[in-house]
Structure 1
Amino acid sequence: MSTIKAIWDCMFTPRLIKIYGNGPVEKVYEPHNLERWGDKVINSLYVMWKFGVYTSPFIAGILYRKGYFVGQEGLEGLVTLTKFVTSLGVILVVSFCIRGFSRSKNPTYHKFIQTLNNAHQNMTPSVKQQLTKYDFEFFAWPVEYSWKDVEGDMTKHRVNISRPIIYRNSLHLIMSLPCQIIAYLAMHTFGIRLIYPGSVGILQMILEPGLLQGRSKLIEVNHGLRYKLGTKDKNEIDAMFIDKRNVTANGNTLVVCCEGNAGFYEIGIMGTPIEAGYSVLGWNHPGFGGSTGQPYPDQEQNAVDMVMQFAINKLGFKIENIILFGWSIGGYTATWTAMNYPDVKGLVLDATFDDILPLALNQMPAWWNSLVKLAIREHANLNIYEQLVKFPGPVLLIRRTDDEVICLREAELSSNRGNNLLVKLLRFRYPLIIGDMQVELLDEYLSTTLNAQDQIFSKYNVNSDLCNSLLESYISENSKSYPMRIGDEMAASQKNQMALFLARKYMKDFKSTHCTPLPADMFQQPWDINVENDYVFT
């Protein structure tokens, strides 16, 4: 009876992938032949299922045109389909049984399951240390910190940007109901996967070896600790923490990383702040890697909110010692966090944009424009600028000069949507300096790279020390809150100088394409008006 129970217990337990250790002890877990066979069959059926789901509209259309849904042929087709599904079901059940039997006879797997059970019962530091030696399917990892563990702060009101009103009146709302339904269905089927391709299961299966290799490096080389966080909407977030406190000069500062639309912490932007000597906390979007859910805006917000609470309350970092780092679409979660945690040390945005709508319209046929606009504004309104202006702290924008993703026109730097983000931010923070004339000047400046920018600086006789001094004097006499009212008495020429000075302070250029890893020396502390000189984190 105990043997049957052991087999049953091992049928649905997680797949063990790797066992970590020191040096030669580290190894890929070698399952017995029956377990390996069972896993292959189960995984193959899973791939078939996923492929069938993604292609079901096309398959259904083909079968309908061939008459498989009507008449005698339809009935025969239904019988054949039922037999096929039943056969697959039998194969699946047998595979689970064989896999469970093989696992129950494997002492290495048996020891792993004992450790996992101990972790679910009581995650003590010693049990955590033992569990960290194993890499396995993350669904079985116990939740170590959730929103229920947070006292007080999670009940506070969170700032959110309201959706723009796109209906003129009630009649317009009713008339547009069919379009609303289509937009909802489009966004909740293929739309969100187009915006976040990393959430597609088949892509994750293709990337699995690379993700494992990246995760192994974080754990073995950088001594990372993996955590599972429970969000308010019952998602489970896969997170990785690298602790360098009291080890490196920058170790007492934590960098919270927000990945791009096909980025994972295993192979994403964590490497840059790690190399620069920071403590780093990475996490995967809902639906990415070991995280559950889907990357809709509300789920993204709940996920990063939980990450921040974990960093502050569990890891013990002060809010003023946290830097937010967002790459590409990760600028959305990074700016939402900055808006709701305004006391963070700074915000670094790499290769990001002001609003996703222009990028989405640029990729779709023109006759889809109305539907795309409705779907984006109602269900995925990633308007980074609107969140950014509600953050009062230091900001650094990094622009990729060869960016092929957020440029509306290929190889045209002037069409980089990072330019729009910078100009909008400066116009909000310094409205009396950045007028229409200065916007035109900034457009000219941002359409060029470093050498040409230096020539523009020289042409307008920009004195950086004087510009900085004017800002410091204003703050000492007034305040540092935005928007600042400095510039009302300035001549047009001085406003031009200030506009160019601010543009260079807020944005740094990096000559690269969109996905090139950011060098550690490019990761700088955002400029602060009270700081006379830039200080580069090293």
Structure 2
Amino acid sequence: MSAIKSIWDCMFSPRLIKIYGNGPTEKMYDASKLEQWGDKVISSMYMMWKFGVYTSPFLIGILYRKGYLAQDGLLMLSKFATSLGVILVVSFCVRGLGRATNPTYHKFIQTLQSAQIGMVPNVKKELCKYEFEFFAWPVEYSWKDLDGDLSKQRLQISRPLLNRSPFQLFMTIPCQIIGYIAVHTFGIRLIYPGSLSLLQLILETSLLQGRSKLIEANKGVRYKLSTKERNDIDCMFINRRDATPNGNTLVVCCEGNAGFYEIGIMGTVIEGGYSVLGWNHPGFGGSTGTPYPDQEQNAIDIVMQFAINKLDFKIENIILFGWSIGGYSASWAAMNYPDVKGVVLDATFDDILPLAINQMPLWLESVVKLAIREHVNLHNYEQLSKYSGPILLIRRTDDEVISLKEADLSSNRGNHLLIKLMRFRYPYIFEEPQVTLVKDFLATTQGAQDQIMQKIGVNSDLCRSFLESYISENSKSYPMKIGPDMNIQQKNQMALFLVRKHMKDYKSSHCTPLPVEMFQVPWDINVENGFVFT
């Protein structure tokens, strides 16, 4: 009876991929022939099912034209489906038998069952030796584990299009329906292509290699977190506390729309000697769910709570690092955790709407605008304006994704994010003449910018002293009322000084890995930090 139970348990247990060890003992799991056969059949049928779901509108049309939706055709399809069902059941039984008779897998499943009962330190250590399908990994930190922060009201940005008259609401019903269907079918996957199962299948080997490197070379530890809506969030923590000069600072990494922590921006931060916490968006890698804004918010929220309450990092020792669309998650966290040490945003935008409109036909603009504002309102500036701490923006000068026009630096949406932020924080310095000056300044590369700064006569020490004097007499809160008594020359100097302090240029395309020397603690008015080297 125990043998039958063992086979039954192994039929639906996770696929074991790799066993970690020390040096030469690291190896891929050697599955038996029975298990290999069962796995191949099951995975093939799964991919057929996913392909069928994605292409269902076309398949239904083909089946209809071929006559398979008539009575005889449906009977034939029913028999075919029954045959596939029998093959699938046999495959599960064969796979379970192969696993149950494999001593290595038997030891693994015992470790996993112990971890599911209770993840005590020695069991966690044993479980971390195994690389397996993440759905079976026990949840180690959950939203229900929170105490005081559970009832804390999270800040949200407003959606202005919701404030419509009844007549306007009625007239836009067709656009609302189309927009809702578009976003909840293909739209969200166009915005977050990393959530596509097919792309993840293509990247499976690369993700495994990247994760293995984080675990083996950097001593990373994997965790599963559970959000408010019970999504599982796959994350990786690398602890450098008391081991490197920057190790007591934790950098929380928020990846791009096709980025994964296994092969993403964590590498830059690791090289800088920081402690690092990476996580995958809902629907990416081992994380479950779909990356709609509310699920993104709940994901970064539980990651931050985990960093503070479980990993024991003080909020003032945490830096938020977002790349591309990860700037949305990072800016939301900054808005709701305003005491973080700083925010670094690489190759990101102010608002996703102009980028979305730029990629769609002109006649769809009204539908796109409504769909974005109602369902995917990724407005980084609105969130970032509610954070008063240090910020560093990194702009890719050859960015083909964030720029509205190819090879046109002035169309980079990072420019808009910077100008909006500066106008909010320093309204009396960034008036119309200074905004025009800054736009011209940002339309050029560093060599030309240096010439402009020299022509304007920017004196960094003098600009800094203006800011320090204002803060000592008033406060550091934003918006600052510094500048009404300055002449136009002083305002020009201050504007260019502040732009240079808040934005760094990196000559590269959108997806080039960021060099470690470009990642630095954001400048603060009272503290001047240089580049971070190891």
TM over 0.5: yes
**Contact 1:468/1:532, CA 8 A, preserved across alignment:** no
Report the Cα distance in structure 2 between the residues aligned to 1:458 and 1:77, rounded to whole angstroms: 79
Instruction: Tell me the residue number matched to 2:155.
Output: 159
- For residues 372-521 of structure 1, the aligned pairs below 5 Å read 372-521=368-517
Deviations along 1:210-257, whole A, 9 cap, x unmatched?
000000000000000000001111111001000000100000000000
Instruction: Tell me the residue number matched to 2:170.
Output: 174
Choose the corresponding residue for 1:128, options 93, 108, 124. 124
Deviations along 1:63-114, whole A, 9 cap, x unmatched?
3345544xxxx11221121111111111111100000011000000000000
Query: What is the CA-CA distance between 1:144 and the residue it aligns to?
Result: 0.6
Deviations along 1:32-74, whole A, 9 cap, x unmatched?
00100110010000111111101111222333345544xxxx1
C-alpha change, 1:84 and 1:125, in structure 2 (3 Å) is same
**Contact 1:236/1:292, CA 8 A, preserved across alignment:** yes
User: Does structure 1 residue 338 correspond to structure 2 residue 342?
Assistant: no
**Contact 1:250/1:537, CA 8 A, preserved across alignment:** no
Instruction: Tell me the residue number matched to 1:316.
Output: 312
Report the Cα distance in structure 2 between the residues aligned to 1:170 and 1:162, rounded to whole angstroms: 19
Deviations along 1:234-286, whole A, 9 cap, x unmatched?
11100100000010000000000000000000000001110000000000000
Query: What is the CA-CA distance between 1:537 and the residue it aligns to?
Result: 5.6
Query: What is the CA-CA distance between 1:531 and the residue it aligns to?
Result: 1.7
Deviations along 1:492-538, whole A, 9 cap, x unmatched?
11111111111100000011111111111111110101124545364
Instruction: Tell me the residue number matched to 1:289.
Output: 285
Query: What is the CA-CA distance between 1:170 and the residue it aligns to?
Result: 0.4
**Contact 1:433/1:495, CA 8 A, preserved across alignment:** yes
User: Does structure 1 residue 20 correspond to structure 2 residue 17?
Assistant: no
Report the Cα distance in structure 1 between the residues aligned to 2:163 and 2:359, rounded to whole angstroms: 25
Report the Cα distance in structure 1 between the residues aligned to 2:529 and 2:460, rounded to whole angstroms: 10
Instruction: Tell me the residue number matched to 1:137.
Output: 133
Instruction: Tell me the residue number matched to 1:243.
Output: 239
User: Does structure 1 residue 95 correspond to structure 2 residue 91?
Assistant: yes
Instruction: Tell me the residue number matched to 1:228.
Output: 224
Aligned length: 534
Instruction: Tell me the residue number matched to 2:522.
Output: 526
Give RMSD over aligned pairs.
1.1
- For residues 339-354 of structure 1, the aligned pairs below 5 Å read 339-354=335-350
TM-score, normalised via structure 2 length: 0.99
Q: For residue 160 of structure 2, give the secondary structure of its aligned residue in structure 1.
A: coil
Report the Cα distance in structure 2 between the residues aligned to 1:323 and 1:511, rounded to whole angstroms: 24
Report the Cα distance in structure 2 between the residues aligned to 1:454 and 1:533, rounded to whole angstroms: 20
C-alpha change, 1:501 and 1:288, in structure 2 (3 Å) is same
**Contact 1:245/1:251, CA 8 A, preserved across alignment:** yes
User: Does structure 1 residue 41 correspond to structure 2 residue 44?
Assistant: no
**Contact 1:523/1:537, CA 8 A, preserved across alignment:** no
Choose the corresponding residue for 1:252, options 223, 230, 248. 248
Report the Cα distance in structure 1 between the residues aligned to 2:403 and 2:76, rounded to whole angstroms: 51
Query: What is the CA-CA distance between 1:155 and the residue it aligns to?
Result: 1.5
Q: For residue 387 of structure 1, give the secondary structure of its aligned residue in structure 2.
A: helix
User: Does structure 1 residue 76 correspond to structure 2 residue 72?
Assistant: yes
Report the Cα distance in structure 1 between the residues aligned to 2:151 and 2:251, rounded to whole angstroms: 25
Deviations along 1:261-319, whole A, 9 cap, x unmatched?
00000000001110000000000000000001000000010011000110000100000
Instruction: Tell me the residue number matched to 1:275.
Output: 271
- Write out the 4+ residue segments of structure 1 that deviate beyond 3 Å after TM superposition: 62-69, 532-538
Q: For residue 280 of structure 1, give the secondary structure of its aligned residue in structure 2.
A: strand
Instruction: Tell me the residue number matched to 1:60.
Output: 60
Q: For residue 5 of structure 2, give the secondary structure of its aligned residue in structure 1.
A: helix
Query: What is the CA-CA distance between 1:176 and the residue it aligns to?
Result: 1.8
The residue type paired with residue 178 of structure 1 is P
The residue type paired with residue 62 of structure 2 is I
User: Does structure 1 residue 185 correspond to structure 2 residue 181?
Assistant: yes
**What are the ranges of 5 or more consecutive residues in structure 2 without an aligned counterpart?**
none
**Contact 1:445/1:456, CA 8 A, preserved across alignment:** yes
Q: For residue 392 of structure 2, give the secondary structure of its aligned residue in structure 1.
A: strand
Q: For residue 165 of structure 1, give the secondary structure of its aligned residue in structure 2.
A: helix
Choose the corresponding residue for 2:325, options 324, 329, 343. 329
**Contact 1:328/1:351, CA 8 A, preserved across alignment:** yes
C-alpha change, 1:535 and 1:528, in structure 2 (3 Å) is farther
Q: For residue 241 of structure 1, give the secondary structure of its aligned residue in structure 2.
A: strand
User: Does structure 1 residue 204 correspond to structure 2 residue 200?
Assistant: yes
**Contact 2:162/2:374, CA 8 A, preserved across alignment:** no
The residue type paired with residue 409 of structure 2 is L
Query: What is the CA-CA distance between 1:178 and the residue it aligns to?
Result: 2.2
**Contact 2:347/2:402, CA 8 A, preserved across alignment:** yes
Instruction: Tell me the residue number matched to 2:362.
Output: 366
